[in-house]
Amino acid sequence: MKIAFIGDIVGRPGRVMVKEHLAHYKEEYKIDFVIANYENASHGFGLTAKNATELFNAGVDVMTGGNHSWDKKEILHLFDKFELIRPLNYPDSAPGTGSKVYEINGVKLAVINLMGHYTMPLVDNPFTKIEAEVSALEEQGIKNIFIDMHAEATSEKRALLFMLKDRVSGIVGTHTHVSTDDLQIYKDTLYLTDIGLTGCRDNVIGMDAKVPVQKFLTSIGGHFDVPKTCKKILQMVVFELDEGKCINALKIKRFDDGRELITQAWID
C-alpha cells in the first residue's frame, strides 16, 4: 500500500500546487491513498466547504487539522460532510474525531491527528491520549497506523517516535511550515520531524513578510496575509507500507518553476 502525505496547505497558492501536481504524482508513484493537512488551506487560517471540495476533487482522500482547525466557524458543520479529522486530544465534546480507519484495497489504515502542548491551545495530554488510541487500534488488529503530529516543539515529535516505534507505521510532523532534513525509517516506522508547507516559499511561513517583520521590530502584531502572487512549492512524503511496517519512503519537493528535489529516507 502506497500512501502520500502533503504538508500544511497554505491558502490559494498551496491549493493551486495540489491541483496542478497531485494527479501526476499519484500516477507516477501508484499512490493508493492521499492524506493532507488542511488547517491553513483557506487564506492561511482554517478551512471552508468550498476549499475542502476543491482539494478533495484534486485527489486528496482525507485531511488532518491542527490549532487552526476552528478558525472558520463553518468547520463545525463540515465533519459530517467531508473526510476531515481534527486533533485527537481536543476534548471529546469537540466536533469531529481525531482518528479514522479506512479500507484501501482490502487493507485497513488508521489515520490519526495529534497536537502537541508547547505554544498550543489547552488540550489533553497528547502522549497519554495517543497511547490509549494506538492500544485500541492494536486490539482491533489494525497494523497500519499513520500519525500527523501537529506540534511546535521538535522534542515532542521526536519523543513520540521513541514512544511508538515498532507500533505505528509512520509519524510525520506539521505546524512549523519549515521542512526538516531527517526523513528516516526507524525500527520500521516512518519519521519526519516536519514536512514543511505547501504554498508560498518566498516569504515567512507562507505569509507576506511585512507583518512578521514588523512584529519582530516593534512587538506590535497584525493580520497575516497569504500573498496574491509568490513563488510556490509542493512538499509531499510518499511511503509504502507492508503489514504495518514502512518499507521505503521519499520526500518530494516540487517547485512552480519546474524543479523537483527527491530525498530518500535513511533506514536505521
Question: Which backbone phi and psi does 17 adopt, to 5 degrees?
Answer: -65, -35
Select which of 21, 24, 68, 77 is catalytic: 68
Q: Show Cβ contacts of residue 59 under 8 Å, excluding neighbours closer than 6 positions.
A: 18, 22, 23, 26, 34
Active site annotation includes 68: yes
Number of CB atoms found within 10 A of residue 127's CB: 16
Question: Which backbone phi and psi does 145 adopt, to 5 degrees?
Answer: -130, 120
Q: Is 82 exposed, middle or buried (0-12, 13-18, 19+ CB in 10 A)?
A: middle
Query: The C-alpha cell of 181 is what?
Result: 532534513
User: 154-164 and 126-139 helices cross at what angle (nearest 10)?
Assistant: 30
Active site residues: 68
